[in-house]
Amino acid sequence: MAGSNPNAKPMNLTLKVWRQPNRQAQGNIVEYHVKDISPDMSFLEMLDVLNEDLLRGGQDPVAFDHDCREGICGSCDLFINGRSHGPEKGTTTCQLHMRKFSDGDTITIEPWRANAFPVNKDLSVDRSAFDRIIQAGGYVSVNTGGAPDGNEIPIPKEISDRAFEAATCIGCGACVAACKNASAMLFVSAKVSQLALLPQGQVERKTRVENMVAQMDKEGFGACTNIGSCAAECPVGISLENIAILNREFLAAKAASNNLA
Amino acid sequence: MLLESKAPEGPLAEKWEKHKFNVKLVNPANKRKYDVIVVGTGLAGGAAAASLAELGYNVKAFTYHDSPRRAHSIAAQGGINAAKNYQNDGDSVFRLFYDTIKGGDYRAREANVYRLAQVSVNIIDQCVAQGVPFAREYGGLLANRSFGGAQVSRTFYARGQTGQQLLLGAYSALSRQIAYGKVKMYTRSEMLDVVVIDGQARGIVTRNLITGEIETHSAHAVVLATGGYGNVFYLSTNAMYCNVTAAWRAHKKGAYFANPCFTQIHPTCIPVSGDYQSKLTLMSESLRNDGRVWVPKTVEMAERVRKGEIKPQDIAEDDRDYFLERKYPAFGNLVPRDVASRNAKMMCDEGRGVGSTGLAVYLDFSDIIKRTGAEAVSQKYGNLFDMYAKITDEDPYKQPMRIYPAVHYTMGGLWVDYNLQTTVPGLYATGECNFSDHGANRLGASALMQGLADGYFVIPYTIGDYLAQTPPKPVSTDHPAFAEAKAGVQARTEQLLNIKGNRTPDDFHKILGHIMWEYCGMARTAEGLKHAKAEIQKLKKEFWSDVKVVGSGEEMNQALEKAGRIADFIELGELMVDDALNRNESCGGHFREEYQTPDGEALRDDDNYAYVAAWEYMGDNQPEKLNKEELTFENVKLTQRSYK
């Protein structure tokens, strides 16, 4: 084994996995056992092992979302032992490795729990609510063609870097799952901050925040009560400061809005 | 048959301008009478869907992901090339064109590559206008870095997440059009066939991955932006879902498949650590700006490293062989990917590889950390270093990374003409799923450039030319061709479910991947390829009699999805082997051991192989027919590629 931990021994684990055939059906926790799990495996590779065992035995494999397995696409979304993406800070499920667990452990694996994220099957949930929030205003309205030269508007590095930090949100939904209110404020605030910081985002700054917040409420996400578990559990470190920016942007927009409601 | 590229006549620099003037236009009021299907929502598909909708066409966009923001473009790390010459270091459209043609080992079409270099500058402007937060200098202007195969700094980047930021830009433009109702977005929908009526592409058949429902969708034209097929090797840096199925279905409906054996093996990936491994992770090429590649000078020392008796940081400077710097002083660690990969393999073949398997070389950052400090290095590459540490449990700030080549990108793909149209009228292919711009080897930071060029700036013009000559009468899914295609997809789904064999789809995928990597990977021989062909044919028979899928087609069934994709990979694998066997030369990523220079570089045969091999499907289990597009070079001189 080329891994750095040549002495690490394979593990045997007990898994308690949420199984639910489809959106309408009742779900329940089912217990499985996996053997000879290498500490160098990723968490999803451990689930691959379980699924291959299930399939060989003629049972339905556990459905879960995943794709890039590099921590960037935002597909994977497991609630592991009561935490979004499991025990390691700043890590998506796909980048979590089994060396963070010990032989004999029992691991509980659930889908994101939020009314706005209904379960498709087993551990896969529907996060299209996030897409609809972006559709409500998470963009700069420029058509292809006719953009000015990229260097026409200098942007201070500090501003650009802050916008970048906010823009790194992967849209996984860990913030919603971690929040006791199932609030989407961190997700919404990341996009609002990014575009509010940049000169390109100024024209639509006020309507954007109003429309995105309205859509967020419509989707059934909860309110923010300033607990901060969203930022604590965010795998890419989106800062809580963004929520402060969102609140400020929202108030400023409302105060100036022609659509006061 | 000789294929016509339809590239316009005239001087290279004027071709695209001239073509844009000559293409037919659809008047603004008529655009809403045309429907266009776009399959895939990565950089090429997302950009195309948004741009076509902005023009006024009715777009139906499809992705198998739960959201159009998740396509594998998102994982591109290092950057995007553009001939802006912001650095005043001698760059120009012609230089980017020249570097790309040369980097591709003279197996790409001049006119396409020049157009790519031309529109590269517009891409940066467009992305900045969308709010893409590219890296900037303290003065507020855009920053650049260097990439392999170029001696100028023309790569724009957003730390190690350039693909993510560009894709989110395209996704935001797409989202805006969805909100306007100009794009109807179908998520979790996998394309399983193209519908061709009277020789023209008129729609697609999809499977809803949540309900299992087989659906038909009609349009006046279909654009495929379905990515590459690197996962034919099982282990690659591609995302898990990346597959060839959409392109392969199109191929079976008449679209020629070009240069399938041209695959890119990326030199800097995290090495394989065990049998359970599901995918490989890339460490961006940008790291070669500052990281130095080396192995121990002697086999004896390498052996001691492999046994863990000595640590790399304890090996004296004199005992290290910085083999890229030694062999290629002009480009050093920034030689193109094919050259860097092949050299890493040579070192390991000589017995000087490191890591417990001996299949790795070092990528060392100690010099740059000494020179600029760990903080500065973290600013540039922080997320990559973190990812490396998470996967390997080693700290790259303290000891060199271990890297090894892995499959990363496929230059081959559906054959397209200058308009990006396949050999099926009305069927277009954009981004990685076409073959067009990278020849036999792609330069770093050029995939993002091509995807966005095709989507934002090429297809909006060229598809209009086709639609202007197509009556706007609505296309109905009532046509019997839709029912027939749908029945075909249903029958295949049933077939996969009814085999009820003993081996899982992954079992077959692993075997296929092993065959491809061993015999059609970094080094190929006629003998090995013939062996591989027989093995793949055997595997295909076994698959269709012994694959095991449980459950039904009327539900979310990930094993069923996988089985369908692997069935297509097996067929593609055989074609790749045929193509590699046909091409009796070495060029770029295609290295046939029989054809090499005395010092081990790729030896091209321009007299006999300066053509695009475009394969035509002739029916199940029939040999495919080879069609050729001759490549003519009027603006560059074909030379032995040298990076010395």
Assigned domain for B626 exists = no
Q: Do B95 and B82 contact (CB within 8 A), yes or no?
A: no
Give the pLDDT confidence of B13-23 residue by residue, as tens digits: 999 999 999 99
CA distance B513 to B573: 9
> In total, how many domains does chain B have?
3
CB < 8 Å to B391, chain A:
42, 95, 97
Closest by Cα among B359, B407, B70 to B234: B407
Interface touch A55/B239, C-beta < 8 Å: no
Would you say residue B615 lies in a domain?
Answer: no
Regarding whether B423 and B377 lie in a shared domain, the answer is no
Shared domain for B168 and B81, answered yes or no, is: yes
* Residues B503 and B522 placed together within one structural domain of the fold: yes
Tokens of B596: 């090499």
Residues of B within 8 A of A156 (CB-CB) are 136, 140
A160 to chain B, any CB pair closer than 8 A? The answer is yes
Does the beta carbon of B394 lie under 8 angstroms from any beta carbon of chain A?
yes
Chain A contact present for B362, CB below 8 A: no
pLDDT in the model for residue A2: 39
* For residue B205, pLDDT beyond 50: yes
Looking at residue A146, its pLDDT comes to: 87
Statement to judge: residues B398 and B417 lie in one domain: no
Q: What's the whole-number mean pLDDT along residues B329-355?
A: 94
The position carrying tokens 């400023």 is A252
Nearest CB among A2, A61, A68 relative to B72 is that of A68
Are B192 and B231 in the same domain?
A: yes
* Residue B12, helix vs strand vs coil: helix
pLDDT at B172 over 50: yes
Q: Are strands B221-224 and B35-39 parallel, antiparallel or unpaired?
A: parallel
Predicted local confidence at residue A4, as pLDDT: 45
B68 falls within a domain: yes
Homologous superfamily of A129-256 in CATH? Alpha-helical ferredoxin (1.10.1060.10)
Q: B297 and B174, same structural domain?
A: no
Same domain, B380 and B437: no
By Cβ distance, the residue of A71, A99, A124 closest to B387 is A71
Q: Dihedral sign, CA of B469, B474, B479, B481?
A: positive
* b/e map B258-280, b = 16+ CB within 10 Å: bbbbbbbbbbbbbbbbeebbbbb
- Asked if B178 is an interface residue toward chain A (Cβ–Cβ < 8 A), one would say yes
pLDDT in tens, B279-311: 999 998 889 989 999 999 999 999 999 999 999
Which CATH code, of 1.10.760.10, 1.20.1180.10, 3.10.20.30, 3.30.420.40, is assigned to A11-120?
A: 3.10.20.30
In a domain, B642, yes or no: no
Residue B639 lies in a domain: no
| CA count, 13 A, side-chain hemisphere, B490 | 11
**What is the per-residue pLDDT for A3?**
44
Which of B64, B167, B175, B448 is the mutation pick for testing A, counting most A CBs within 10 A?
B175
Low-confidence ranges of chain A (pLDDT < 50): 1-4
CA B38 to chain centre: 18
Residue A7: the pLDDT is 54
Q: Are residues B453 and B488 both part of a single domain?
A: no
Kindly report the CATH number assigned to the domain that includes residue B374.
Answer: 3.90.700.10
pLDDT value at position B39? 98
Q: How confident is residue B582, by pLDDT bands cut at 50, 70 and 90?
A: very high
pLDDT for residue B624? 98
Contact residues on chain A for B159, CB-CB shorter than 8 A: 164
Q: Decide: residue B614, CB within 10 A, 0-12 exposed, 13-18 middle, 19+ buried.
A: buried
Within a domain: residue B630? no
> Residue B149 has what pLDDT?
87
pLDDT of residue A43: 98
Mean pLDDT (chain B) is 96
CATH number of the domain residue B490 falls in: 1.20.58.100
**H or E stretch covering B38:** strand B35-39
Interface of A with B in 46-75 (CB under 8 A): 48-49, 51-52, 55-56, 58-61, 63, 65-75
Q: How is residue B91 written in tokens?
A: 């760059």
β-strand partners of A16: A31, A108
pLDDT in tens, B451-503: 999 999 999 999 999 999 999 999 999 999 999 999 999 999 999 999 999 99
B271 lies in the same domain as B295: yes
Domain borders along chain A are 11-120, 129-256
Asked if residue B445 and residue B583 are part of one domain, the reply reads no
**What is the chain A residue with the closest CA to B459?**
A144
> pLDDT tens digits, residue range B347-395?
999 999 999 899 999 999 999 999 999 999 998 888 899 999 999 999 9
Domain of B288, in residue numbers: 266-406
Q: Are B239 and B347 in the same domain?
A: no
Label the pairing between strands B221-224 and B361-364: unpaired
For B450, half-sphere exposure in the C-beta direction (CA atoms, 13 angstrom radius) is: 29
Same domain, B302 and B431: no
Picking from B140, B402, B504, the nearest residue to A52 by CB comes out as B504
CB pair distance less than 8 Å for A154 and B139: yes
- Which of A70, A122, A133, A211 is most worth mutating to test chain B (most B CB atoms within 10 A of its CB)? A70
Q: Terminus-to-terminus CA distance in chain A, angstroms?
A: 63
Angle between helices B93-103 and B110-130 in degrees, nearest 10: 120
- Which helix (H) or strand (E) element contains residue A190? helix A185-197
Q: Identify the CA nearest to A162 among candidates A190, A203, A204.
A: A190
Residue B538, in any domain of the structure = yes
